[in-house]
Structure 1
Amino acid sequence: MNAARDDIRLDALYGRVSRRLLPFLFLCYVAAYLDRVNVGFAKLQMQADLALSDTVYGIGAGIFFIGYFVFEVPSNLVLEKVGARRWIARIMISWGLVSAATMFATGPVSFYVLRFLLGVAEAGFFPGVVLYLTYWYPAHRRARIVALFMSGVAVAGVLGGPLSGAIMAAFAGKAGLHGWQWLFLLEGIPSVVLGIWTLFYLDDGIRSARWLDDADKAALERELAAEAVSKQHLPLRQVFASGTVWLLALVYFLFVMGLYGVSFWLPQLLKNSGVQDVFHIGLLTAIPYGVAAVVMVLAARHSDRSGERRWHAAIAGFAGAAGLVAATVWAGDTVLALAALSVATAGILTTFPIFWSLPTALLGGTAAAAGIALINSVGNLAGFASPYLVGAIRDATGSTAIGISLLAASQVLGGLLVLARGQSPGRQEPPKRA
């Protein structure tokens, strides 16, 4: 009975922590992801205005991830040293300013430079938040929490599509600016505001949280201490030499291939199916992301309750692949293509919160900061490869189908590698209480 009462109290305490942290972090991620992928909507107008080929667009969309890759690990190590509050604020303010500055792109070179600088500015945000969540939640609670945070991707798609389409349609020609220029400006401002808010709202960890009393802090710290003994606290040199870390980075790379294929090309795929109005395209893109927001949270919750990770991640990847292939088969039918893209988006996005339960359960301390950042930075190189390959293949063949099929194959391979890596730490159970 005592153990049951303790579990109820602990669940209530974690509910309080989640209500404090998750809505704010969720808003930040919506802003981050919107600023990262709104170039997919800007493309519908800016490509003609700046005379950009599909290959040039693909390079510009993806070069973001080169800057991201170079500065990701150093950024996460700085976060661990100076604290999440100041460093996440710095990241958000700088990326908001650079995103807004993309309105000044005048051709391929300036487009490349601004996208690269956006990657430099944003480097460390996502792995920093994933690391930050390990300061609060033990592994057996983390998939659902990461899913709620990462549903910001889906919500950014739900809100971002109609919002981006409306901005481009309503503001075109205002003050002598194109609609895509207004898009970058108006969607960059919220990130700056949220960055300033971070300085006043976010706590660096449990000890600095003034909204918790000493008993609450002790209870949360006991939960983390119970799992800390099973984590590897490796020196940096061993993190970079770890076969497990590099395997996880490869798996993440393969899953990210699908994510940015959808993110950067979904508007174009819908246009190819026969929808021409940019506002209508924006409205329709909300549907796949809305489906994904529900599916990823439900799947992650089931994964937490069952303690199983590998099959949950693999099946999601296989579903994403099936949806992508079906979208190419039904490319000329808007309704069927939209249904297939909904399956693809839901499957692809569901892989991520479950995947991140694996490295965060393995690594602790500086090893966690470096390992999470390394996995994320290497994986996100797919954000360069994916749009570039699809764009180059489209320029060479006149079709998007081959490139999208390549992304589907990456989801299948990622799922197979997750299944092949063995059980540990695939099953994660809550600590036993007396």
Structure 2
Amino acid sequence: MSSFEAAKVRPTHPAEHAATAGDAKLDRTYKKVFWRIVPFLMLCYVVAYLDRVNVGFAKLQMSQDLAFSETVFGLGAGIFFLGYFLFELPSNLLMHKLGARIWIARIMITWGILSGLFVFVQTPTQFYVLRFLLGLAEAGFYPGVILYLTYWFPTHRRAKIIAVFMSAIPVSGIFGNPLSGWIMQSFHTNGGFNGWQWMFMIEAVPAVLIGIATILYLDNGIQGAKWLDDEEKRMLADEIAAQPHEKAKQSHSLGAVFKDPRMWWMSLIYFAFVTGQYGLTFWLPTLVKSTGVTGALNIGLLSAIPFACAIVAMNLFGYSSDHRRERRWHLIVPSLMGAAGFAIAASASHSTVISLVFLSLAAAGVLTCAPLFWSLPTAFLSGAAAAAGIAIINSIGNLAGFASPYMIGYLKDLTHSTQAGMYVLSGMLVIGAIAVWLTPARLVNR
């Protein structure tokens, strides 16, 4: 036998077998964790996002029934985020202290009740107050889930997990927009209620029911998971502890988070991306309608197309980012896609087909940015610092959720067109791309 043949049949060292078996066991454990918690959290976020943005669909009837101007609607849609901003940091710190199971359940039950109360809105003031209270109730849910995922998944596995979780946004659009359109069209005037009132009433129920289910289903962390054996718990805990610079990350105090210029830079980037995200999700039904489409159900079905495109893009970019352990260009490319989509769609409102093509490009871009963004700050924050840092970044970023709908509504009343607003959205995404490009790769490529 030649030396080459001998090398081919040389038995593998026992240590290599053990390492391979250990890796396979770890991969199986992560699959187990994924299927246990991520689909459930996605379901929660589908309901959350639907209750947050279904006001965009209600506008198709609500503005006419209640004589709300575009500016009134835009302010009401956006004022949600002022309440969200005020309570988000305390909410995330409370979740870190009290545990995800109880706190996420509390968030869902209270926002479900408040969402149902929109049935009784008659004046702009009532609209503003309820939107503000809804923001208070929901504050902490999204950053809380991002924080919760850091308890389970190390940095190098996180982008694709967050991308899958945030696929709930386009899933909410794919199913929620046609559902909202169908409810408003089919139930209109039944029982003395208008279609938009039925929509708020029906779509509030799942939040309360799933909130109750959260208490029974969700675990606070690895050690409390009875569905994992001791070895699986040890492997997962070791993976979290072995992340690059973990000890340095743990040294961040809460006060140091506020003084960290990286946190404020991240807030600027996220503000730019969220401007595009909520410009799309709140105004998409109106943008589709402006191309000449009639009927709430037809608008809902066509509005689902951009979200379907976004699901594909989000998960492709998320997988590629984790596989290559590269973050910056995986954010820059989709943000520029979103900018191009908004800019071209703004000048193509005469054609439903062309508008939908470029609104789909915009949706694929802006909705991909959000999940991939969170792999940046979570690369250098953990523990209580992560709870505070994620909440602060998300709070400041989500002020764009106030500014964006209000800005578009104001510009639409001023110019009688959505073009100016869409150009602003495009410009904000370019600013976000430049800010990501200026972020040092060594800081975020984990």
TM-score (norm 1): 0.98
Deviations 1:274-333 (CA, angstroms, capped at 9, x unpaired) = 101110000011110011011101110000000000010011100000000111121110
Q: Contact 2:377/2:444 (CA < 8 Å) preserved in 1?
A: no
Q: Contact 1:393/1:402 (CA < 8 Å) preserved in 2?
A: yes
> What amino acid is aligned across from residue 442 of structure 2 in structure 1?
S
Corresponding residue for residue 86 of structure 1 = 102
Q: CA separation in 2, counterparts of 1:114 and 1:81?
A: 28
Corresponding residue for residue 224 of structure 2 = 208
Corresponding residue for residue 149 of structure 2 = 133
Q: Contact 2:379/2:444 (CA < 8 Å) preserved in 1?
A: no
User: Would you say 1:304 and 2:314 are equivalent positions?
Assistant: no
> What amino acid is aligned across from residue 234 of structure 2 in structure 1?
A
One of 216, 220, 230 as aligned partner of 2:236: 220
What is the CA-CA distance between 1:7 and the residue it aligns to? Answer: 1.8
> What amino acid is aligned across from residue 224 of structure 2 in structure 1?
S
One of 191, 202, 206 as aligned partner of 1:175: 191
User: Would you say 1:353 and 2:371 are equivalent positions?
Assistant: yes
What is the CA-CA distance between 1:232 and the residue it aligns to? Answer: 4.5
**Where in structure 2 are the equivalents of 1:6-21 lying within 5 Å?**
6-21=22-37
Q: CA separation in 1, counterparts of 2:251 and 2:203?
A: 40
What is the CA-CA distance between 1:426 and the residue it aligns to? Answer: 2.7
User: Would you say 1:54 and 2:91 are equivalent positions?
Assistant: no
What is the CA-CA distance between 1:6 and the residue it aligns to? Answer: 2.0
User: Would you say 1:108 and 2:117 are equivalent positions?
Assistant: no
Q: CA separation in 1, counterparts of 2:311 and 2:254?
A: 35
Which structure has the larger Rg? 2
Q: CA separation in 1, counterparts of 2:22 and 2:316?
A: 25
Corresponding residue for residue 394 of structure 1 = 412
Corresponding residue for residue 431 of structure 2 = 413
Q: Contact 1:147/1:353 (CA < 8 Å) preserved in 2?
A: yes
Corresponding residue for residue 313 of structure 1 = 331
Q: Contact 2:45/2:168 (CA < 8 Å) preserved in 1?
A: yes
Which runs of 5 or more structure 1 residues have no equivalent in the other structure? 429-434
**Structure 1 moving runs of 4+ over 4 Å:** none
Q: CA separation in 2, counterparts of 1:267 and 1:210?
A: 44
One of 347, 358, 362 as aligned partner of 1:344: 362
Q: Contact 1:51/1:107 (CA < 8 Å) preserved in 2?
A: no
What is the CA-CA distance between 1:370 and the residue it aligns to? Answer: 0.2
> What amino acid is aligned across from residue 256 of structure 1 in structure 2?
V
Corresponding residue for residue 374 of structure 1 = 392
Q: Contact 1:322/1:408 (CA < 8 Å) preserved in 2?
A: yes
Q: Contact 2:310/2:367 (CA < 8 Å) preserved in 1?
A: yes
Q: CA separation in 2, counterparts of 1:176 and 1:212?
A: 52
TM-score (norm 2): 0.95
**Where in structure 2 are the equivalents of 1:252-263 lying within 5 Å?**
252-263=270-281
Corresponding residue for residue 279 of structure 1 = 297
**Which piece of structure 1 moves more, 77-86 or 227-236?**
227-236
Q: CA separation in 1, counterparts of 2:257 and 2:443?
A: 17
Corresponding residue for residue 156 of structure 1 = 172
Corresponding residue for residue 181 of structure 2 = 165
One of 1, 16, 26 as aligned partner of 2:42: 26
Q: CA separation in 1, counterparts of 2:240 and 2:248?
A: 11
Which runs of 5 or more structure 2 residues have no equivalent in the other structure? 1-15
> What amino acid is aligned across from residue 314 of structure 1 in structure 2?
I
